[in-house]
Structure formats: C-alpha cells, structure tokens
C-alpha cells in the first residue's frame, strides 16, 4: 500500500512538473528595431540577443526592422532587459511583442498573467480582449496563450509586476 | 630634375618614407565606413572588431616611380554601445624605387583612438549618428630602419564625423586634424583632412546573406610644410584632392573592403613626387 502511495505521489509530482513547464513560457518575442540599416551591423544584435536565457532561434529582418526570438523547447525567454540589450548593440527597440503561455489570476484590482516557471508576472492591461478572455475563463485557472505588446509599467517600476501586457490575441487551449 | 640628389640621398629618403607612412595611416576602416575617411560607427558593447589592412601608394617622380606598402592590424573594442577604443599597429612596411627594394618589418607606430558616438537617432531602417574621435600616435616604430617603421614623433588626432546610413543610401562627412610633434630631427607639418562619402546598396539583402555596398569618396588633404631645425623644408606640404571609389562586401560578421584613391588635384609645394594612386584592401571580423 505504502509503495503504491509513493508511486502515485511521484507520478503526480512529475506530471505537475511537466504541466508547469508546458504552461509557463514566453514562447516568442518580436522586437521592432529602429536603426537597422546594414547586415554586418546586425551581427552585434544577434550576438547580444543570443545571450538571453531561453533564446533558441533568432531571425533578424532588416527590411522589416524586426528581430524575432523563439524560445528553446520548454524554456521561457528572458525579456526584462530587452531594450537595454538592443541599445548596447547600437540600436533602439521601439516595440516589444510577446507570445506567452501562462495562467490568469486576480491580484488586488488588476489581472495578472503568471509565468510561474520563470517567476515572471505580467499585468494585463484592461481592454476588450482581456474582458472577452475573462468571460471565457469565468474564473477557471486554465492555461492561456496570449500575444500582445509588452511595456514597462510607470506605476510599478520595481517589484514583481514591472511589465504590462496589452493583449491583442489569445487562445484558451 | 630629381629631388633626391645623391649627395643627400639617405636623409630625404627617410623623410619621404616617414611622410608616406603618415599618409598611409588609414583613418579607420571599421564597419560600413568610408575607406579613407571616417565615420561615426562603433562596435557593439563588449564586441571586438579585428582588421588587417594592406595599403599601397605609388608616387611618380620625374625619372622614376616609387611605391610604398604597409600591412596594418587594428583591434577595436566596444566599451559601451557608443564608445569604442581602437589599437592600431602597422607590422610590415616596404619601399620600392627604381634603385631597388627595401623592406622593414616589426611593430610600427602604434595608434590609440577613442571614438564616442555622442548623438544617434534611430528610425526604421535608418541611423543618423555623429561621433568625436581623439587619437594619439606613439613613436613606437623604429624611425632609423630603412624604410622607417615610424615617424619618431608623437602625434595627436582630432576628428568629428557624422553619417546617415539607411538600407539603400549612405552619406558620410568628417573633418580631421592631425597635430604632429617634432620627431628626431624632423617636425612633420600638421595635416587637415576633410572627407565626404556617398554609398549605395544595389540589392537590399537580408541578414546572413552576402551584402554589397558601393561607395565613392572625396578626400581632401591639406599638409603644412615640414621643418628641420626650425627651417621650413621647401619641398614639403601642399594640398591633394582624391576621388576614391570603394566597395564593402560583408557576410554575417566578416567584411572585405577595398578602395582606390585617384588624385583629382595636387598642389604640392616645391618639387615633390605626386601620387599616382593609393589603394587599401582590408578584411575585418567582428566577434
């Protein structure tokens, strides 16, 4: 009986672990980069972005002025210092869009997308997309995939919620 | 009439070689910058730019041709996203006249430059920038070797460069002033440079694809006369204006660059050999 209990608990822990990994990801980051004029200079940007935790494939489009970062399997892309990193490479990041998977929860007067595996939390900006997402979830802690524009909160410069996500697309699968 | 009379053959030869060494010192060949002028480009923070450059100048005297070659290595380090430090050292220097070939090898006059990009305005596919450059050339090269590896003087460079780089077009402009000090016995005249460059990328290739930029420069050099024992050397100093086509070919973090300087105007004091052409070829790697 004890043996069965240990197996059951172990299986539960393992499954919980893989579940957390699956739902806790900044899967893609798209950075609009100003000043990108030459391919040779873009190497510095690639090199700097590659150093970020969780970054797998990088695609830089000079004609679109866009750097796209895809996460490594089961890893979350570190996104907190993106503007600083782009600046150190000699360019300016004007807009950062992320595709993130997480769980929505209420915190005080706002909703938060918890990227628990990486301990990142994004404040969700109140807009129509958020309202329709909340009505679909109806309080259930289901995993959500969301895409949106990321920006730094002027109100919460420090602490655990320095970033706001303005959702432009979501999926509740 | 040959300006190099046999009775005073060695000293003027050394003087000329040292002058050529100074004139062949490249401005800065980093990134998509003019070959013979300067630009405001810096390498990314924590990055290194390593470059080896081969340069040659052919002079025409009344009776003979004279050529000078140099091989130079430069290392640039990006201290910040807007500040770079460059160490430049020529390692081989060769000189050829109708009378024979002479070559020297070893470390030449090491130059140290800092470039601070004090202004940058980024737009989609466009970067406008301006930088100030301060450099010093140290008398580390042997000025008594034949041909000399150094000028024997400590010289200071001040420059201001600005540029607009876009996906298709490149525009560069810069002014430079080199304040030369007295070397062993010679004080080379100070030099003023002004350069303008225009470039075009015929094919808007994406990152990781081979990329070509074609550039044309106008380079003006105003040289004050040299002095020996406080006496002006009559056959020194003057103005030169060059038209300089060049290319940049890059693939990811590798670049091959080359440019040719063709004289448009040469107003040289006294009797001096005029420049037939100069060219520079370089390979550069960013890591």
SS3 sequence of B32-43: CCCCCCCCCCCC
- Considering only CB atoms, which chain B residues are within 8 Å of A35? 120, 122-123, 126-127
A134 occurs within a structural domain: yes
Are A165 and A109 in a shared domain?
yes
> Domain limits of chain B?
32-286
The residue from A79, A96, A113 where one domain ends is: A96
Q: What is the pTM of this model?
A: 0.82
Judge contact between A167 and A137, C-beta under 8 A.
Answer: no
Instruction: Give the dihedral sign, CA B29/B32/B34/B40.
Output: negative
A135 inside domain: yes
Domain match, A166 and A124 both: yes
pLDDT higher at B169 or B99? B169
Given this model, what pLDDT does residue A18 score?
36
Report, at the CATH architecture level, how domain B32-286 is classified: Beta Barrel (2.40)
> Residue A17, Cβ neighbours under 10 Å: how many?
11
CATH number at residue A135: 2.40.50.140
Has residue A18 been placed in a domain? Answer: no
Contact A37 B42 (CB under 8 A): no
Contacts of A49 in chain B (CB under 8 A): none
Would you say residue B94 has pLDDT above 90?
no
Does residue A8 fall inside a structural domain? no
Asked if the Cβ–Cβ distance from A48 to B80 is below 8 Å, we say no
In a domain? residue A13 = no
Has residue B85 got a pLDDT over 70? Answer: yes
Mean predicted confidence (pLDDT) in B44-49: 93
Please judge whether A65 and B31 are an interchain contact, meaning their C-beta atoms are less than 8 angstroms apart.
no
Q: Are A17 and A10 in contact (CB under 8 A)?
A: no
pLDDT for A108 equals 80
B-interface mutation test, from A37, A45, A46, A57, most B Cβ less than 10 A away: A37
Are B16 and B185 in contact by the 8 Å Cβ rule? The answer is no
Q: What is the pLDDT of residues B10-31, one digit of tens each?
A: 555 555 545 544 444 445 555 6
pLDDT at B32 > cutoff 80: no
Which of the residue ranges A23-32, A164-173, B94-103, B202-211 would you say has the lowest mean pLDDT? B94-103
A interface toward B at CB cutoff 8 Å?
A: 32, 34-48, 60-63, 65, 87-92
Q: What is the mean pLDDT of residues A139-168?
A: 79
Q: B125, A36: Cβ pair inside 8 Å?
A: yes
* ipTM, interface predicted TM-score of the complex: 0.81
A10 within a domain of the structure (yes/no): no
Do A107 and A155 reside in the same domain of the chain?
yes
User: What residues of chain A lie within 8 A of the CB of B286, using their CB?
Assistant: 40, 43-44
Mean pLDDT to the nearest integer, A52-60: 93
Residues A161 and A107 in one domain: yes
Partners of residue B34 in chain A, C-beta under 8 Å: none
Identify the residue with better confidence: B211 or A156.
B211
Quick check: A39 and B206 CB within 8 A? yes
Mean predicted confidence (pLDDT) in B177-182: 92
Name the one residue in this structure whose structure tokens are 């070797």: B145
* A154 in the same domain as A112: yes
Q: Identify whether residues A144 and A88 lie together within a single domain.
A: no
**Side by side, which strands form the sheet with B186-187?**
B186-187, B227-228, B231-232
| Residue B9 forms contact with A (CB below 8 Å) | no
Please give the interface size between A and B, counted as residue pairs whose CB atoms are below 8 Å apart. 96
Q: What is the pLDDT of residue A157?
A: 52
User: Which residues of A fall within a CB distance of 8 Å from B208?
Assistant: 39, 60
Q: How many other CB atoms are there within 10 angstroms of residue B217's CB atom?
A: 21
User: Comparing B39-53, B72-86, B139-153, which segment has the lowest mean pLDDT?
Assistant: B139-153
If one counts the domains in chain A, the total is: 2
- State how far residue A40 is from chain B, nearest Cα, in angstroms: 6
pLDDT of residue A10: 47
pLDDT at B206 over 80: yes
Q: Are B31 and B51 spatial neighbours (Cβ–Cβ below 8 Å)? A: no
Please give the distance of CA A58 from its chain centroid, rounded to a whole number: 16
Range of the domain at A45: 26-96
pLDDT digits (tens, 9 = 90+) for B221-257: 999 999 998 899 999 999 999 999 999 999 999 999 9
With CA atoms as reference, report the closest residue to B121 among A35, A41, A94: A35
Mean pLDDT, chain B, integer: 87
Q: Tell me, what's the pLDDT at A17?
A: 37
Would you say residue A20 lies in a domain?
no
CATH of the domain at A32: 3.30.70.100
Chain A residue at shortest CA distance from B248: A40
- In chain A, pLDDT over 70 holds for what percent of residues? 80
| The domain boundary residue, chosen from A96, A114, A129 | A96
Of B199, B201, B181, B206, which Cα lies nearest the Cα of B191? B181
Determine whether the interchain pair A40/B120 forms a contact, defined as Cβ–Cβ distance below 8 Å: no
* Min Cα–Cα distance to chain B from A129, Å: 29
Q: Are residues A76 and A113 in the same domain?
A: no
Stretch B184-189: mean pLDDT: 85
A145, A104: one domain: yes
Alpha helices per DSSP H over A27-138: 39-50, 82-88, 128-137
Secondary structure (3-state) at B236:
coil
Q: What is the pLDDT of residue A162?
A: 78
Same-domain status, A123 and A153:
yes
Say yes or no: B257 contacts chain A, CB-CB below 8 A: no
Residue A16: what pLDDT? 39
């Amino acid at each position: 009986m004890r043996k069965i209990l240990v197996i059951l608990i172990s299986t539960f822990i393992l499954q919980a672990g893989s579940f957390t990994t699956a739902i806790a990801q900044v899967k893609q980051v798209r950075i609009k980069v100003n000043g990108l004029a030459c391919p040779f200079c873009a190497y510095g940007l690639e090199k700097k972005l590659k150093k970020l935790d969780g970054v797998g494939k990088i695609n830089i489009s000079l004609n679109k002025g866009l750097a796209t970062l895809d996460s490594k399997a089961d890893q979350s892309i570190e996104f907190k210092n993106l503007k600083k990193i782009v600046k150190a490479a000699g360019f300016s990041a004007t807009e950062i869009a992320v595709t993130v998977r997480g769980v929505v929860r209420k915190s005080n007067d706002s909703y938060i997308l918890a990227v628990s595996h990486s301990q990142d939390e994004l404040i969700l900006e109140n807009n129509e997309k958020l309202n329709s997402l909340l009505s679909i979830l109806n309080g259930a802690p289901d995993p959500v995939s969301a895409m949106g524009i990321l920006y730094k909160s002027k109100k919460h410069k420090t602490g655990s919620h320095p970033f706001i996500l303005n959702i432009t697309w979501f999926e509740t699968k | 009439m040959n300006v190099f009379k046999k009775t005073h053959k060695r000293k003027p030869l050394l003087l000329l070689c040292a002058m050529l060494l100074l004139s062949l010192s490249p401005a800065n060949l980093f990134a998509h910058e003019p070959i013979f002028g300067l630009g405001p480009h810096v390498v990314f923070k924590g990055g290194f730019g390593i470059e080896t450059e081969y340069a040659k100048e052919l002079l025409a005297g009344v009776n003979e041709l004279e050529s000078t070659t140099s091989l130079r290595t430069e290392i640039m380090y990006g201290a910040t996203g807007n500040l770079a430090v460059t160490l430049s050292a020529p390692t081989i220097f060769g000189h050829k006249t109708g009378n024979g070939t002479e070559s020297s090898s070893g470390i030449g006059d090491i130059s140290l430059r800092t470039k601070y990009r004090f202004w940058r305005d980024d737009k989609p596919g466009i970067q406008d920038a301006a930088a100030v450059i301060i450099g010093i050339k140290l008398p580390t090269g042997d000025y008594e070797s034949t041909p000399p590896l150094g000028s024997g003087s400590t010289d200071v460079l001040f420059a201001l460069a600005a540029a607009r780089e876009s996906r298709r077009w490149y525009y560069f402009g810069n002014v430079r002033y080199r304040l030369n000090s007295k070397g062993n016995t010679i004080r080379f005249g100070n030099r003023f440079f002004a350069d303008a460059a225009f470039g075009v990328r015929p094919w808007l290739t994406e990152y990781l694809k081979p990329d070509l930029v074609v550039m044309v420069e106008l380079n003006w050099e105003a040289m004050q006369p040299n002095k020996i024992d406080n006496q002006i050397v009559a056959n020194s100093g003057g103005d030169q204006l060059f038209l300089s086509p060049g290319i940049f070919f890059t693939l990811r973090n590798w670049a091959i660059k080359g440019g040719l300087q063709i004289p448009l105007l040469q107003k040289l004091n006294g009797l001096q050999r005029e420049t037939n052409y100069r060219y520079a070829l370089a390979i550069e790697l960013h890591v």
